[in-house]
Structure 1
């Protein structure tokens, strides 16, 4: 089983390589420092599994995952990160990742999870699973107008006010004012809270 390790920290890359190669059925075929390097390495190495960090320079892990899955649908991608916030989890899964593990996972368990991934299972760390299964008692998106829902969805995708204005053919001022109305209706503080709330609803 060939694995590509993608992380912007060289110490993390080398440590994971040394630890995983102790497993008789695992070969680390490449190392990459960002999402674009991951795409380049996959072109050359054609690994079975990619261990993908999320926050990296040049191209992050979520965008890289999206592009890799478009080119190689059968490639298995495991997000391996310190971040367990719900927005990153949902964005990673939406991009096509089959697994999401935290870097605190013992390497023995990591190897087992990689094997499970290759066998066709989706793999989520227990803490991660709790994050996305946690119920949300608020159910107020139904109170939003169609335009407000469109803007909330765009914010959940990480778009800026300018990008939303271009996508929805609205002025930046209208987007900004509508965002204020949305936050008031949902009793949220800022666009980050709105994005997290939107993903918790799971309506997308």
Structure 2
């Protein structure tokens, strides 16, 4: 039986305990480490080079999970990262995509869904379930190429696309020309491996919800 190393990152001990219990219940041979802070997670990523990192996005009020995801991917290309978070806002999804996360699951998902997402992510498959308390079968968006990270502006545009804002609305909010926005959207979709907005929404299982309100509009 293969020996699997997993790092669970969450500032809440109860969440870490629940995930440890869920992983151990699979019956596989596991080495499970825990971290409650970003600094602790980075140190353990460097020391143990886990095959799977399960991390919350928000630690001590900041999105430290994004840095953990980037670091884990940079430290070992064989490390898979599953973001398990209470934050399913469009900006959170955009940041996770740009950081190279393999999977993204909202904490409202049932235990069996989380367990299946862990299994699939560890097997090299991708699972994205955003803000769905009861979810359909998991989906697999294409992995973004490592050599093509999004710029901060592209990530901002992606967050607005995930809010289902039109190109005209994005142009108005960011004070950009419509053609400029269209170019940004095309570039973002190409970098993520999607052919259209519809393909993006379908693959990420995006649905409207209280956490999907998106970034505030800038005053005109």
TM range (shorter): 0.5 to 0.7
Q: Select which of 183, 193, 202 maps to 2:216.
A: 193
How far is 1:76 from its partner? Answer: 0.3
Aligned to 2:126: 122
- The 1:192/1:38 distance shift into structure 2, 3 A limit, reads same
Distance in 2 of aligned mates of 1:78 and 1:34:
17
- The 1:79/1:53 distance shift into structure 2, 3 A limit, reads same
Distance in 1 of aligned mates of 2:166 and 2:79:
37
Check whether the contact 1:101–1:124 (CA below 8 A) recurs between aligned residues.
Answer: yes
How far is 1:134 from its partner? Answer: 6.1
Aligned to 2:23: 20
Larger Rg: 1
Greater helix fraction, Structure 1 or Structure 2: 1
TM-score by length of 1: 0.63
For the pair 1:44 / 2:47, whether they are aligned, the reply is yes
- The 1:192/1:104 distance shift into structure 2, 3 A limit, reads closer
In the comparison of the two structures, how many residue pairs are matched? Answer: 152
How far is 1:105 from its partner? Answer: 2.0
User: Per the alignment, in what secondary structure is the counterpart of residue 84 of structure 1?
Assistant: coil
CA-atom RMSD, angstroms? 3.1
For the pair 1:92 / 2:115, whether they are aligned, the reply is no
Check whether the contact 2:90–2:162 (CA below 8 A) recurs between aligned residues.
Answer: no
Q: Select which of 145, 161, 166 maps to 1:138.
A: 166
Q: Runs of 5+ in structure 2 lacking a partner?
A: 133-138, 140-158, 185-213
Q: Runs of 5+ in structure 1 lacking a partner?
A: 154-190, 196-204
